[in-house]
Structure 1
Amino acid sequence: MKQVKLIPAPADDLDISALLLQAISFLRQYGKLLLIVALLGLLAGFARYLKTPNLYTSSLVLQPKILSEPEQIAVINNWCTLLQKKERPVLAKQFNVAIPLLKKVESITVEELQKSYDPKNFTAFKVSVVVRDTAILRPLQKGMIYALENSEYIKDKLVSRKKILGSMTQTVQYEITRLNNLQQMVETSIQQPGNTGSRVMLNVSNISAQIADLQEKKLNYEEELSFLSAVNVLQNFYTPVHPTFPVLLKQLTLGLCGGLFLGMLVSFYLHYRRKMAN
């Protein structure tokens, strides 16, 4: 009868218990160093929090009336580029504001609120800014509106639109006057005796309805003319109470992680030098 020889299973390549003992020994040797460097990282994060100026975020919602939304967004993206390139004098001239005001602006971004590719569909877009001082938000908004309404193309379009609306208002007023006269003539004709036979009867109520429709059109034209602008402001910049940056917890976490990482590098370096010396 053949005997079966049992072959022992190979030991695991990594002995977990041995690794755990080495890790405990490593922490015993360099734990104090890691703790000290981690605390220094926390202090560095807290110091950075104290030294970093407060930054505030606010948003402005606009609706273009002359340009299409992609065109308007392209104009505002140009402001972002000028600000990133530190071309504040150029941007201050466009905004008609002082250069020191723009030195308190960290960034400008724009975002469309509704995806639309129809050039006749005027949707809205949001302009967000990050500033160091909330007191500049109102003059900054006025400067942005000024820049959007005072380019040569926009001014020419506004003048042309005002002329068109004024002409349409005058035309409607002329038609209203004409219909009023016609209505008076018809009413006078009806009141005269002996004119009920062969004459053509006009419906006075229809004339009154036409006059009412024209009056409504006239009021709409006058309203559009009074509110005519390059953009409509749907939401003004609001004044935030709490800063967006810096955040204390985030700064402490970054400081702690940085301290632990630096402590691990120093500990591994000292451990390596000790092993090489032995």
Structure 2
Amino acid sequence: MSGNSSNPFTPYVPPRVWSPATQTGGAFASINRPVAGATHEQELPVGKHPLQLYSLGTPNGQKVTIMLEELLAAGHGGAEYDAWLIKIGEGAQFGSGFVDINPNSKIPALLDRSGETPVRVFESGSILVYLAEKFGAFLPKDLVARTETFNWLMWQMGSAPFVGGGFGHFFAYAPEKLEYPINRYAMETKRQLDVLDRLLAERRFIAGDEYTIADMAIWPWYGGLVLGELYGAAEFLSVHNYQQIRRWADEVGARPAVQRGRRVNGVRGDPATQVPERHDASDLD
């Protein structure tokens, strides 16, 4: 719709009771539904390593594979993992095995089989905290620094849905371009970018001088935006204005473990660099 229109959105009168028949189409219409639970019986594959990751190389998925590769790079051999591809566009997240690990049917989901009883971990932020505490890495022990890390991890978990489900959906995936929601979520996305740019003008990494799980959580989303890798929206959002985020994004993106982790469970981009499944370090070499 033209930005000069006097009516910035299509008029809509909600029915007294919503029903699925009233929902619009779009890129994810075939897998959206108003109830939880499994749609079909499907066991999950299990590999040889203690950690079994079921995911896709979206920004949320990249958080965990980056963390795992960083742990391995730091010498934590117990962080070896199998990464299995979950094709969310085909509804694989609604298989019974996946729902057993994550009742919310969202990637990523992790199963830790290193102990007597397997431990399920879901929600990307929870997985980062679990791995950081399990291996004693990338999470400060000092209470003040630890709290600042959690501050920004929780900020990302609460803020990024406005970028993905809000801006990304209406700008890139919705069946039609609507001025009101695009403007609404573009404004919020730029506000969040400004929050980070101001923060990074005062410190090297998100939580301070130390690289932490907060950087791993925030980089795939906001680093991806300023590097022009999300939604084809770099020019639209004028990401060149966020020089401090760009400085940080370049530094984090140059880390070998970050470069390795972002390729795992990848299905987009150059097929020669993407690794849909990862079962050994050599899969990335």
Q: Under a length normalisation based on structure 1, what TM-score does the superposition of the two structures give?
A: 0.21
Q: Which has the higher strand share?
A: 1
Structure holding more helix per residue = 1
TM-score normalised to structure 2 length = 0.20
Greater relative CO (CA pairs within 8 A, separation 6+): 1
